Chains A and B, each alone.
Chain A
């Protein structure tokens, strides 16, 4: 146990948390958490998904009420009953998912959350001054809908700073940033630390925690498993603390002779007009995914990946049938069912509500994507569903993917994110598809399950399929892919072979640099 726990509550700690516990039904999400945050430190909160990080932070920010435990703010016991109370105390939070109105300007969005009646022009002036002094370039009069994700995050940070907080909580802030944008953010954080402000930094990216954090608290299964100085640890030792055991590394045998293999999935000049005022248009996308190959698509969230996925999957049809070709045949005019019948399989980003119907059983969710491709096996005469066959197929997938669950055939919503994702990926793998398109395969999935899913995708490719992975997690793409392309503002770069790809090159492309440009600016640097 690190930190100082003294009777007269050391005033050097800005925030002290003792025995904080939150119980949901039978699940103890946070189990007697102790946490000290000193003044002027960047404190990392590490843990896998489901370790209790979000629950803890929600209690600190007043959006959840703890079952037991104490919180001391600057040496005094406090009860944080609402986010309003947290703000008044001096706790600010920047959420992972932004809460901004796209049709309003940055300043208007800030005014909404400040809610103190000051005129927009005053707020805009303040925001401009702050953005200047912290090196966070932002035009307060710009429309949020026109801004990039990184710029939107700056609005959130400035909105938070305007309330002059002493403690700033950042939830996975770099998950939406390019490596270069993340560097800028770190400069801001160090600047804040030098002013004596404290930062609680939530992340699962170990390298950046090692780089900027002074101390770390590691959570696993709702319990604190250790406090440490991340600078003295290695990424591997931190990972071990988080996961509790060694994570099996993903093995990727080099792909042989891919260049000459036939393309199973081909995108030719795919363009799409924006469906809503703030959707991203797709611009002349070209891509080939060949037999045996895993191609990764990197990019900051909201650069057209969702639109791209919908276009390939057939949830949205193309006017030019030749713009999407599966196994050498035009598929652009076919529905998702038609494309599945050609041998393609799809895993969308959202698990609940898109890839699976939350309130339906796993066996029913199997039927969801396979009622047509396995029509003979699963649907009998007169459209009667063969429940027995569907059930046993679901059990086969559960076994193959090691899906952990509480009942033989539970509702999808009853599974943890990682286990549901294993089932959804397994549902498609079970078909042995010749083309597999996956959007964010391991988003919010714990390390063990993520390794399992990645390995399964590589093996599918090596067994003769084409696999396309869209992800915002660069580590994942480098682990999986034979080539990485970058999507920026609806455009897709040519894939870089994995041997030539580096974080820097990909990062520059994610920020919108031209492919040739990326090489050049690196040489200059």
Chain B
């Protein structure tokens, strides 16, 4: 018994659009089975997981807080992936953005005023972009595989942050806790509507970035360049577009956006640096990018869905006593089904069983008899 993927002659336009919805439905079904196995009524669990976390206005603000970094990172990654360049290390770029942006409030806390936030955001973007330039340089100079280098640099970034907050940047008055000082007031990203909830300007940055990248990809020559180099590199070279330049462009752009997400998260939602500042936003954003079909506007919707899986995970933990790792499980299933559905748009499955091989074998034996007959 063998399974083969056979390329379809045509892709169905309808199913290309439906695919994320089918994937979502399949995730729900698989999730129901998982909840049932855990001994929880699936309907009840789904209500707690998907409905309750967004039933009040302040909860929508929480959703926006979680969605903002996912969207910011994912729109940057979508440009990389469209160019067929695989930046998997957004988590590390997120962390370096946070570290660079925190230089001002941690090392120069006496520096205050309206310039602090813009400078921190700028530094955050520079940090993310610089960190992303490492795999870009390695790829263009030594042809290393950017998937491996960018991924491995995530762990370097995580441990570097851990060392910083335990060592040189630790708050001297923090009773030995591994964290920096609390950021001053002028280093905190303002909330959008302080009366209604905690959502900060990070969500606005995410929406602006999504629209800007959408415009760039669909309307400008640069977007055209990304699409050509991603879909047919040789035609791109014929067009005069440089591949190495594109590697740097996409890594720097996605790194800057991940860095902006990092500093926004630290300055807005957390207020200081800690050993862990991200529940895996940089990795979850990969799912967001694909669930949004690498379209920045689709990514906004996908970012909200994935943000909900985080909130839902916390909700089932407190209400049902199920580990909040369930959020990871949901995200994993969603990515699995999205990629599965996408694969089936391009390919169909053919089962080649033993039963099918036999008649073939019979014919193979018939052939020599023909020879003898002659």
Q: Which residues of A contact B (CB under 8 A)?
A: 24-25, 73-74, 76, 78-79, 81-82, 84-85, 88-90, 313-315, 335-337, 340, 346, 348, 350, 353-360, 364, 367-369, 371-372, 379, 382-385, 387
Contacts and interface: CB of A to CB of B under 8 A. Distances in A.
B367 interface: yes
Interface of B: 9-10, 219-222, 224, 227-228, 231-232, 234-240, 242, 360, 363-364, 367-368, 370-371, 373-374
A315 B370 contact: no
A84 B364 contact: yes
Which of B222, B232, B238, B374 has most A Cβ within 10 Å? Answer: B238
A385 B220 contact: yes
Nearest to B364: A88
Given A25-B10, A335-B242, A356-B235, 5 more contacts: A89-B370, A357-B235, A358-B232, A369-B238, A371-B239
B363 A81 contact: yes
B237 A25 contact: no
Contacts of A357: 228, 231-232, 235-236
A379 B221 contact: yes
Which DSSP category, helix, strand, loop or mixed, fits chain A's interface?
mixed
B154 to A, nearest CB: 32
A28 to B, nearest CB: 14
A116 B228 CA distance: 45
A360 to B, nearest CB: 7
B232 A353 contact: yes
A25 B9 contact: yes
A337 B222 contact: no
B215 to A, nearest CB: 8
Contacts of A337: 240
Nearest to B221: A383
A367 B231 CA distance: 15
Contacts of B239: 336, 368-369, 371
A79 B367 CA distance: 11
Contacts of A24: 9
B234 A350 contact: yes
Nearest to B229: A357
A343 to B, nearest CB: 15
B142 to A, nearest CB: 18
B235 A382 contact: no
8 contacts: A25-B10, A85-B363, A350-B234, A353-B232, A353-B235, A360-B227, A367-B224, A385-B221
Nearest to A166: B374
A383 B238 contact: no
Kindly list the 3 A-B residue pairs having the minimum CB-CB distance in the complex, ordered from nearest. A337-B240, A88-B367, A383-B220
A191 to B, nearest CB: 21
Contacts of B240: 314, 335-337, 340, 371-372
Which of A89, A90, A355, A356 has most B Cβ within 10 Å? Answer: A89
Contacts of B242: 335
Contact of B224 (A314, A346, A385): A385
Nearest to A82: B360
Contacts of B234: 350, 353-354
B254 to A, nearest CB: 19
A79 B234 CA distance: 41
B227 A90 contact: no
A490 B228 CA distance: 31
Nearest to B222: A383
Contacts of B367: 85, 88-90
A358 B239 CA distance: 14
Which of B221, B222, B235, B236 has most A Cβ within 10 Å? Answer: B235
A357 B233 CA distance: 9
B231 A385 contact: no
B210 to A, nearest CB: 18
A85 B373 CA distance: 17
Contacts of A82: 360
Contacts of A76: 370
B228 A88 contact: no
A127 B240 CA distance: 47
A81 B360 CA distance: 8
Contact of A79 (B9, B237, B238, B363): B363
B231 A360 contact: yes
A163 to B, nearest CB: 12
Contacts of A383: 220-222
Contacts of B363: 78-79, 81, 85
Contacts of B219: 384-385, 387
Nearest to B236: A357
Given A74-B373, A85-B360, A360-B227, A355 B220 contact: no
A89 B368 CA distance: 7
Contacts of B237: 315, 336
A377 to B, nearest CB: 13
B214 to A, nearest CB: 13
Which of B220, B239, B374 has most A Cβ within 10 Å? Answer: B239
Contacts of B371: 90
Contacts of A368: 228, 235, 238-239
